[in-house]
Amino acid sequence: MLAVVCALSVGAVSAQQAVSLDIPAQPLARALFSFSAATGVEVLVDARHAAGRRSFPVKGAMPPRQALTLLLTGSNLIAREYAPGTITLSATEPTAPSATVEAYFAEIQRAVRLGLCSDAVTAPGHYRLALKLWIGPGGEIVRSKRLDTTGDDARDLAVDVAMSKITIGTPPPAEFSQPVALVVSRATRTTAALVPSARPLCAVLRIADSASSWPIPLPPCFASC
């Protein structure tokens, strides 16, 4: 069945109008309710698709569609506009990438890790951040976009500068989908327990193909920068 997560009588904000949001990670249905309350956008989703899923934290001022995309990071749900002010969510069927594409994801992780670890301010482990990357034909990152904030303006700027200097080193495969969604986060205690040599707060770089949201099975944690 298609469940209405939130249907409000207030008018929806403009698609490009920035809205100030602070929605922590939580059960997806609850996060979608908070999103609808803040934006006036009605979200329709099959209750079975929302069950057991958690949202990605959203904090800062951004247009509703960008906020919803961030909130759904890692959920394997995609948003489609049903009518003005109404969005439906549907599940995608993840498709495993080829060995070539998977290897290139590993190269992206390596390059981003080295770039962020080059400065103590941007070194992963003490913040959570979602990014989108566009990679040029020469393997250079031609554009990066923070989808949220690290919680510190100076560090946000430092991350932007660091990303602009990163080069993957090899061109992306012909079948490589872009942009690439990348999440830098703290490791949970469970993750740290799986990597005994890791620091208590070590970095997780989780990279997904934006077209399929298929998580790449990369090492869960860095031992150090």
* Per-residue model confidence as pLDDT tens digits over 48-99: 778 888 999 999 999 888 899 889 988 888 887 756 677 888 887 655 667 8
Residue extent(s) of CATH 3.55.50.30 domains in the chain: 2-91
Task: State both tokens at 86.
Answer: 């109404």
pLDDT confidence of residue 58 = 93
Crossing angle between the packed helical segments 153-164 and 99-117, to the nearest 10 degrees: 130
- The arrangement of secondary structure in 99-209, i.e. its CATH architecture, is 2-Layer Sandwich (3.30)
Residue extent(s) of CATH 3.30.1150 domains in the chain: 99-209
Best CA proximity match to 161, nearest among 195, 119, 196: 119
- The whole-angstrom distance between residue 102's C-alpha and the CA centroid of its chain comes to 18
pLDDT confidence of residue 166 = 93
pLDDT confidence of residue 59 = 92
CATH classification code of 2-91: 3.55.50.30
Q: What is the pTM of this model?
A: 0.54
Cβ atoms of 79 and 72 within 8 Å: the answer is yes
3-state secondary structure of 152: coil
What's the distance, Cα to Cα, between the start and end of the chain in Å? Answer: 47
Length of the chain: 225
Average pLDDT, the chain: 75
